[in-house]
Amino acid sequence: MNRRDWIRNTAMSGSMALMGGFGSLYALSKEERQKFHPRPLDKMIKLSSNENPYGPSEIVRNAIRDSLDIACRYPYSYADELAEMLAEKEGVAREQIIITGGSTEALKACGITFAANGGEIIAGRPTFLAMMTYAKQWGAEVKWVPLNEKKEYDMAAISNAVSEKTGLVFLCNPNNPTSNLLPKEILLKYSEEIARKTILFSDEAYYDFIDDPDYPSLVSMVKEGKQVIVSRTFSKVYGMAGLRIGYLVTTPELAEKVRNNVMAYSNVPAIQGAKAALADTEFYDFSLQKNKEAKDMICATLDELNLEYLPSQTNFVFFHSGRPIHELHRSMMDQGVQIGRPFPPYTDWCRISTGTLEEVGLFTDALKKVYI
């Protein structure tokens, strides 16, 4: 079952959310609500899509409102200005940045650029599926490599699987849905090895959530001229998932090949909002802090219930439910909480996104009712 089918099916069977005392217990100040815009409590607490429950920030909202005066214009020149800002941020040339309609479009464009019509993509399983699902529609083949016993990408096995047919290796690090991070030594060793053989695509949608300030981005390999493409997004830490804007960082040669397959290219309000978001360090720091607090609440409850979970370097937690996800899902829906879909082969593991602290409080209460 794919993500779209899962959401469609589960939306039909919701019940009223628990609306207990957490609203007052975890309430933000009036100033914080104005600046950071937490989403309001809904009838169904939706913790299934790894969305940032805050934002867009007040600064970004103002930039979007102001952009409506130029929304009659095509986005190209405004995107060029954003690309210049991102090139400076990443330490690369302007030509090495491609603005996309969310990082999902970036993944799809790269998948068909390098693997359509009989080419091959190698990916760990489970992982984020957008690239592989789309590329298969264009005649690509996918070679799946199971995760290792730590539920990490098996980078040695992936490297050994590369053949002359391989057009691209997909890496999501930190990985979705498992939430964990490759050890930096393993990442760098095998990324170098893979990039000598074929193109390595590194999905870094959750890079901002990594605790280690010295953990490397594979943008460093792009700067060295290696066959590497890195995707980033404004959907997660910046709270702009509904605006659809992301970007790629790669070598000039690979950028030239990918650029013609980018379709949506985003839009003026999203582009102007992204520019403002880059400068809004207060919201960025707030978003990371609230995400940490929410994860701490989730993990404390899992500890209390003796449920195993993986160390999370993202805005979600992957835990061993000990029961089929379809069953747990129905039980949690009855309590007013929507959890993540199944991720085969780990069909008794659950992905739960961080929400506002009010939402997470309701989730922890619901989980205890289901398990105790």
pTM recorded for the entire structure:
0.91
Residue 257 in 3-state DSSP? helix
Cis, bond preceding 311 (omega within 30 deg of 0): no
CA dist., res. 317 & res. 303, Å (int)? 13
Confidence of residue 263 (pLDDT cuts 50, 70, 90): confident
pLDDT digits (tens, 9 = 90+) for 58-108: 999 999 999 999 999 999 999 999 999 999 999 999 999 999 999 999 999
Residue 199 in 3-state DSSP? strand
Task: Using the predicted structure, report yes or no on whether residue 119 has a pLDDT greater than 70.
Answer: yes
Q: What pLDDT shows up at residue 29?
A: 87
Q: Which residues pair with 201 in a beta bridge?
A: 170, 229
**Helix, strand, coil fractions of the chain, as percent rounded to 5:** 45, 15, 40
Q: What value does the mean pLDDT take over residues 243-263?
A: 94
Q: What pLDDT shows up at residue 134?
A: 97
Listed in sequence order, the residues at least 6 apart from 125 whose beta carbon sits closer than 8 Å to its beta carbon are 144, 145, 146, 147, 344, 345
Task: Using the predicted structure, report yes or no on whether residue 248 has a pLDDT greater than 90.
Answer: yes
Residues in the chain: 372
Task: Using the predicted structure, report yes or no on whether residue 309 has a pLDDT greater than 70.
Answer: yes
Q: What pLDDT shows up at residue 190?
A: 98
Question: If you average pLDDT over every residue of the chain, what do you get?
Answer: 92
Between residues 25 and 129, the one the model is more confident about: 129
Domains recognised in the chain with CATH numbers: 3-57+281-371 (3.90.1150.10), 60-278 (3.40.640.10)
Residue 225 host element (H or E) = none
How much of the chain exceeds pLDDT 70, in percent? 92
Listed in sequence order, the residues at least 6 apart from 238 whose beta carbon sits closer than 8 Å to its beta carbon are 52, 55, 56, 60, 274, 277, 283, 284, 287
Residue 99 host element (H or E) = strand 97-100
Task: Using the predicted structure, report yes or no on whether residue 25 has a pLDDT greater than 90.
Answer: no
Q: What pLDDT shows up at residue 99?
A: 96
151: its two tokens? 């539920």
118: its two tokens? 């009989």
Q: What value does the mean pLDDT take over residues 336-343?
A: 96
Q: What value does the mean pLDDT take over residues 191-216?
A: 98
CA dist., res. 25 & res. 320, Å (int)? 28
Q: How many CB atoms lie within 10 A of CB 277?
A: 25
- Sign of the C-alpha dihedral, residues 14, 18, 22, 28? positive
Q: Comparing 144-153, 260-269, 305-314, which segment has the lowest mean pLDDT? A: 260-269
Q: What pLDDT shows up at residue 67?
A: 98
CA dist., res. 184 & res. 175, Å (int)? 14
Listed in sequence order, the residues at least 6 apart from 156 whose beta carbon sits closer than 8 Å to its beta carbon are 190
CA dist., res. 202 & res. 220, Å (int)? 12
Listed in sequence order, the residues at least 6 apart from 146 whose beta carbon sits closer than 8 Å to its beta carbon are 124, 125, 154, 157, 345
pLDDT digits (tens, 9 = 90+) for 9-19: 443 343 333 33
